[in-house]
Structure 1
């Protein structure tokens, strides 16, 4: 079972790093190009579709791997009675927020792009994207806190 636990933990952390890194990179380097009109509709649709699919695949990966880790590490009630358990619950809530922010903003961006409003797509969703990126970094920090040995 230790091998399965290790594999799930590694997959969870690897995918979290990829997802959070992609979100931050998009907010930092790609989205400003959209806001300035320096990115074409086709490219912007392709990039945002990729981020949306990464977010959706991540949802499955995080539920499976995170659920397994929570069941194995906090099955005896520690999820609700320890600071580590509270951090897990906080991370779950924050992950839901980031996923919702990305889904909502990407939907709005793609609607605007479909109407040919490139700069509008960027400017009207800039805050949501930045908040999602910031919270993604917080999720990684919480993950680092949770990586300490249980005991």
Structure 2
């Protein structure tokens, strides 16, 4: 039976991969389709709603699992006094940034969709979702590094 720490690592990693993957898919496939007029308002609204829901659910999971992992593995001295701890704090900052970017992009998309403008909705969200995608990729790279052996 896995320990609470192992379960936290699994859940944290699973949600990170799903969340970043969803943002990447929205950024590089959904938004271009909507900008080109090949996606209807109901479909775009449904995708945006799903992405926002996933972002908020992931936030709860990340706070619970990440908080448990940070407290168990690093403690306050390890977080603030080691290079690996600083990377964890960098990830925390990037997570806040990525969450904010997805939320703002989603809000802009919803605002334009409320007046029936699909292309505008996609254009308004585009830069925010691209920036969130970059932040997500950096998060995964740092997470992958931290998952490896401490050197």
Q: State the alpha-carbon separation in 2 of the partners of residues 146 and 12 from structure 1.
A: 13
Name the counterpart of 2:72.
72
CA 1:72–1:2 in 2, change beyond 3 Å: closer, same or farther?
A: farther
1:59 equivalent in alignment to 2:59: yes
Following TM superposition, by how much is the alpha carbon of 1:123 offset from its aligned partner in structure 2, in angstroms? Answer: 1.2
1:48 partnered with 2:48: yes
Over 3 Å off, 4+ runs: none
Establish whether residue 140 from structure 1 lines up as the match of residue 140 from structure 2.
yes
Alpha-carbon RMSD across the aligned residues, in angstroms, is 1.4
C-alpha distance 40-2 of structure 1, shift in aligned 2 (>3 A)? closer
**Cα deviation, residue 124, structure 1:** 2.2
1:131 matched residue in structure 2: 131
Residue 4 of structure 1 and its aligned partner are, at CA, apart by 1.0
Q: Deviations over 1:1-46 (max 9, x none)?
A: 9611101100000110000111111111111111112111100000
Distance in 2, Cα, partners of 1:137 & 1:150: 21
Partners of 2:146 and 2:66 lie apart in 1 by: 12
Which residue of the partner structure matches residue 11 of structure 2?
A: 11
After superposition, give the CA deviation of every residue in 1:64-119 in whole Å (9 maximum; x if it has no partner). 00000000011150101111000000000000000000001101101100101111
Residues 45 and 79 of structure 1, relative CA distance in 2, 3 Å threshold: same
Q: TM-score, normalised by structure 2?
A: 0.96
- Other structure's SS at 1:146 match: helix
Corresponding residue for 2:104? 104
- How many residue pairs end up in the alignment? 151
Query: What residue ranges of structure 2 are gaps of 5+ in the alignment?
Result: none
Aligned to 2:27: 27
What secondary structure is seen at the aligned counterpart in 2 of 1:29?
A: helix
